[in-house]
Amino acid sequence: MKKAFLIFLLVFLVSGCVDVDGNFENVKETVLAGLKENVEKQMEFSVGGLTLSLAGAFLSDEDEDEAQAQEMLSNVSNVQVGIYNRLECRRTDFNFINKTAKRISSFGLIPIVKARNGEEAMLMFVNNVRERGEIEKILVVAINPDEIVIAQVDGNIGNLIETAVKDKGFNIGNNY
């Protein structure tokens, strides 16, 4: 019985399906503190590299879309997601967006998108490319009147983006 429990615990920990890390927690607390609202956690999880590799193993090399998904998964080492229901909704203004972006920047992330449209807002960050030479982390904070979604993807983000657009592309120039 003790052996079975240890094996279960080891498989669970190695699989990468665990709670979010401290950096993600810091970002979440920064966003929630800036909004000054009560929220309810809908879900919060992290999926590690081994789980993502196992998922990729079930995809077919023969199917073009599945092969592309498999290649994309191979560039991801960790995914963390948090979804929080807003129990009260205050207006998300540019002051909040700028202050939050500045606070999140103190965690070594650089804002690349800050946007607001009506009651919706989005912030997007990447790691400091000058320090590391490559994009290894992308963080997105999306806020609407009903919920707050925070998602972080770690890995070789440059290759991930390249894979995403190389076959399908953006069809720039072909749309006109």
- Other beta carbons within 10 Å of 166: 11
- In the prediction, which pLDDT does 168 show? 61
Q: Tokens in use for 42?
A: 């809908």
Of residues 49, 62, 67, 72, the one with CA closest to residue 162 = 72
Phi, psi of 144 (to 5 degrees): -130, 175
Per-residue model confidence (pLDDT) at position 2: 52
pTM of the model: 0.81
Q: 121: alpha, beta or left, given left = phi > 0 and alpha = psi -120 to 50?
A: beta
Which pLDDT tens digit goes with each residue over 13-67?
554 556 788 899 999 999 999 888 889 999 999 988 877 777 777 777 888 888 8
Q: In what order do the strands lie in the sheet with 39-48?
A: 39-48, 76-86, 147-155, 137-143, 120-127, 109-117
> In the numeric block, which tokens belong to residue 164?
């995403």
Q: Say how far apart CA 21 and CA 44 lie, in whole Å.
A: 11
Give strand ranges (E) for 29-75. 39-48
Give the residue, 1 or 63, on which the prediction is more confident. 63
Residues in the chain: 176
